[in-house]
Structure 1
């Protein structure tokens, strides 16, 4: 029952038919009829689309830049931390100290941006901002001393401690605001029960 495929091909007579003349031309005509070539739009509109895309991209980039940057001068409560955005006193000495300073300054600014005082907590918030402003002034004095007298271990330690104090102060403010907000909410709960 099993047959060798080679024997079958030998027995089969294959005829090689040639393609008719103009076969390729007729095929191309049918192809063109089935899928006509699209007319190209005028180049005037394509340049207009490119220009509109560029203007849109520039506008979005500018908007994102404005949204991402923190403009301290517009917010009077954060104006006292303007110096902390500039920083750079320790960065002039060593790249490692710059990393430490950048870490503390970024943490301070992050904590400040998270805090939104309410009317009830405004007094506490303002008190902490005054303390923070005093620490900022001290940091400026220490930075000036660093540039005038050169780097000493005492000055560098004082600058880092100042940054640490500011960050700890903000953590205490955050905890106190949570406590005040919780105590303000609890009387409402007991009154509704």
Structure 2
């Protein structure tokens, strides 16, 4: 006794009667809904909330204290400072001390940085621009010295070597940007002079 399911749905739709809601049901429902949502929530602070907050704060504070506490049997070793480095008291290691290939990389970047720096001509018009770039270059030089100090103190690892190479790349890119800015400044000055003539 197989029946087609489409026929069953069609019969069901014809026989389906719409259930009517009692009169005013929707209005009463909306009125109750508005009454519930218009109530203001009571903001009473129970002493349990306060006590729980204090326990959490004390727990986090104690955990932080224990985490950062130096045990008594471990000696804290001072790392060399930049002033010790600048005085020449501590010999630092460079990329060239690690391997000959890294020495080639370091020499390549330093030679290009110095070459680009040697091509810069200082004029009154570009003095502020060059001073800004030289300040950034000095900041990167100090960072390079700090990373070299870390290399000396901790020994070579991938992060330190990559940081040194990245620093050299940043310094070379900084010199290239300076060169572009100087060329742009030169062309705008020459255009300005031609239009004023």
TM range (shorter): 0.5 to 0.7
Matched with 1:146 is 151
Match for residue 99 of structure 1 among 91, 101, 104: 104
> Cα distance 1:111–1:88, how it changes in 2: closer, same or farther (>3 A)?
farther
- 1:155 matched to which residue of 2? 160
Q: What is the CA–CA distance in structure 1 between the aligned matches of 2:104 and 2:152, rounded to whole Å?
A: 19
Tell me the residue number matched to 1:173: 178
Q: Runs of at least 4 residues of structure 1 off by over 3 A?
A: none
In angstroms, what is the RMSD of aligned CA positions?
1.3
User: In structure 1, what is the equivalent of residue 124 of structure 2?
Assistant: 119
Q: Size of the alignment, in residue pairs?
A: 106
Q: Is the 8 A contact 1:128 1:173 kept in 2?
A: yes
Q: Which runs of 5+ in 2 are unaligned?
A: 1-91
Q: Distance in 1 between matches of 2:110 and 2:93?
A: 10
Q: Which runs of 5+ in 1 are unaligned?
A: 1-86
User: In the alignment, what sits opposite 1:82?
Assistant: none
The counterpart of 2:193, out of the listed 182, 188, 193, is 188
Residue of structure 2 equivalent to 1:134: 139
State the Cα distance separating 1:189 from its structure 2 match: 0.9
SS at match of 1:119: coil
- Give the Cα–Cα distance (whole angstroms) in 2 for the partners of residues 88 and 133 of structure 1: 19
Do 1:88 and 1:98's aligned partners in 2 also have CA atoms closer than 8 Å?
Answer: no
Larger RCO of the pair (alpha carbons < 8 Å, separation 6+): 2
